[in-house]
């Protein structure tokens, strides 16, 4: 009883304060004119593109990953690090041991080391065991070289952005001319949303103006080793596919394990269900309907016939 009386007053307090909050909120909502977010109307949602690793049966297209790696190597690696990927991991792209070794030793950036004779900081050629070396020594160096913007590490970029690879693909192919771009309503970009010094207009970027200059600008920018025609669209797709791999190199294992688990568990669950029905078969109450000789009226007829025949029933 005391609990209920106490609860009533505590309840009144919480309900009262929330309703008071609600009323002030409603008043504020009604009296302040709705602010239209102009930047929002110029923002575009990422376009989707098909990549073989999509979907529960997805696997990597090794040739595409190799092309994507080539784009990374020739276009992105100048500014963007790939901290969580090692040269040895490239074996998963279909390169053999000698090729991996060659890629590592011919990489354009050396890895920091210590001179074994003098103890002075030095650099050496990467080996397959090394992770991809960063293009900049540290964040300050990276910012000073890029107009105070920091090029993010690309290893996990697909996992770290909404819409993942679709976003990367859209961003890479999404640079537009700010002077001619129109939103859905046909409006042109207002002056305060135009890119400032060192910024580039890209409607797929969250605040419309990105520090990264358009990285892939012309068809044939990269000459693919496998002879695929390197259009801007193709290069953007290939490097996005490559970044799916860098973000989750074990994606194929995950899909394979998943299907093995689905098949195993479906059988186990079916057996579990049958075992459950079997154990419960005597205990499940079921409405019963009798037929044939068990039907009550037939039984009565049978008993009557038996009596008439003088049989002991």
Partner 1 sequence: MAYAWAQAYEPKSPLMKWVDQRLPLPRLVYGTVGGGYPVPRNLSHMYNWGALSGFALIVQIITGIVLAFHYVPSSEGAFDSVERIMRDVNQGWLLRYLHMNGASFFFMVVYLHTFRGLYYGSYKAPREIVWMLGLVILLLMMATGFMGYVLPWGQMSFWGAKVITGLFSAIPLIGPTLQEWLLGGFAPDQAALNRFFGLHYLLPFIIFGVLILHVWALHIPGSSNPTGVEVKGPEDTLPFHPYYTAKDGFALGVFLLVFFAVVSFLPNYFGHVDNYIPANPLSTPSHIVPEWYFWPFYAILRAFTVDFILPAKLWGVLGMFAAIILLFFLPWLDSSPVRSGAYRPLFKMFFWILIADIALLGFVGGLPAEEPYVMLSQLATAYYFAHFLIILPLIPKFEKPLPLPSSISEAVLKGTTSKAAPAGIAAPGTPGVVHA
Given the rule CB under 8 A, which residues bind partner 1?
3-4, 7-8, 10-12, 14-22, 24-26, 29, 56, 84, 89, 152, 155-156, 159-162, 247-250, 253-255, 257-259, 261-262, 265-266, 268-270, 272-273, 275-276, 278-283, 285-296, 299
CA distance readout (Å), 134 to 70, 77, 86, 126, 131: 17, 8, 12, 12, 9
Minimum distance, C-beta of residue 217 to partner 1, in the bound complex (Å): 28
Distance from C-alpha of 82 to C-alpha of 76, rounded to nearest angstrom: 10
Distance from C-alpha of 128 to C-alpha of 108, rounded to nearest angstrom: 14
Distance from C-alpha of 60 to C-alpha of 241, rounded to nearest angstrom: 8
Minimum distance, C-beta of residue 179 to partner 1, in the bound complex (Å): 28
Give the residue with the Cβ less far from partner 1, 21 or 115: 21
> Is 41:185 a contact under the CB 8 Å cutoff?
yes
Distance from C-alpha of 31 to C-alpha of 108, rounded to nearest angstrom: 61
> Is 104:127 a contact under the CB 8 Å cutoff?
yes
Give the residue with the Cβ less far from partner 1, 17 or 141: 17
**Which pair of tokens denotes residue 265?**
């568990």
Minimum distance, C-beta of residue 18 to partner 1, in the bound complex (Å): 4
**Which pair of tokens denotes residue 279?**
């154990």
Distance from C-alpha of 196 to C-alpha of 210, rounded to nearest angstrom: 10
| Three-state secondary structure string covering 134-187 | CCCCCHHHHHHHCCCCCCCCCCCCCCCCCCHHHHHHHHHCCCCCCCCCECCCCC
Give the residue with the Cβ less far from partner 1, 285 or 309: 285
Minimum distance, C-beta of residue 303 to partner 1, in the bound complex (Å): 12
Distance from C-alpha of 22 to C-alpha of 162, rounded to nearest angstrom: 32
Give the residue with the Cβ less far from partner 1, 88 or 101: 88
Minimum distance, C-beta of residue 228 to partner 1, in the bound complex (Å): 28
Distance from C-alpha of 67 to C-alpha of 230, rounded to nearest angstrom: 9
Give the residue with the Cβ less far from partner 1, 147 or 223: 147
Give the residue with the Cβ less far from partner 1, 24 or 48: 24
Give the residue with the Cβ less far from partner 1, 141 or 267: 267
Minimum distance, C-beta of residue 222 to partner 1, in the bound complex (Å): 26
Minimum distance, C-beta of residue 250 to partner 1, in the bound complex (Å): 4
């Amino acid at each position: 009883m005391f609990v209920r009386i106490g609860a009533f007053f505590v309840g009144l307090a919480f309900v009262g304060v929330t309703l008071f909050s609600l009323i002030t909120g409603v008043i504020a909502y009604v009296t302040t004119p709705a602010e239209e977010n102009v930047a929002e109307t110029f923002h575009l949602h990422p376009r989707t593109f098909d990549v073989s690793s999509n979907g529960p049966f997805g696997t990597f297209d090794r040739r595409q990953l190799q092309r994507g790696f080539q784009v990374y190597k020739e276009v992105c690696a100048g500014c963007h690090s790939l901290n969580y990927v090692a040269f040895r991991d490239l074996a998963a792209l279909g390169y053999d041991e000698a090729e991996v070794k060659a890629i590592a030793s011919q990489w354009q950036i050396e890895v920091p080391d210590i001179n074994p004779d003098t103890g002075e900081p030095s650099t050496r050629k990467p080996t397959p065991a090394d992770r991809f070396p960063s293009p900049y020594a540290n964040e300050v160096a990276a910012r000073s070289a890029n107009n105070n913007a920091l090029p993010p590490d690309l290893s996990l970029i697909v996992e770290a952005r909404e819409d993942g690879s679709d976003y990367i693909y859209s961003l890479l192919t999404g640079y537009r001319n700010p002077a001619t771009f129109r939103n859905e309503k046909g409006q042109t970009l207002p002056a305060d949303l135009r890119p400032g010094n060192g910024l580039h207009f890209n409607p797929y970027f969250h605040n419309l103006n990105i520090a990264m200059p358009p990285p892939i600008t012309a068809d044939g920018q990269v000459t693919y080793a496998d002879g695929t025609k390197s259009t801007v669209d193709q290069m953007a797709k290939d490097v996005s596919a490559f970044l799916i791999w860098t973000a989750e190199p074990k994606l194929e294992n995950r899909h394979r394990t998943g299907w093995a688990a689905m098949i195993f568990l479906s059988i186990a669950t079916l057996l579990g269900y049958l075992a459950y029905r079997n154990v419960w078969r005597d205990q499940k109450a079921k409405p019963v309907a009798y037929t044939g000789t068990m039907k009550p009226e037939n039984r009565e007829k049978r008993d009557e016939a038996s009596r008439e025949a003088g049989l002991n029933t």
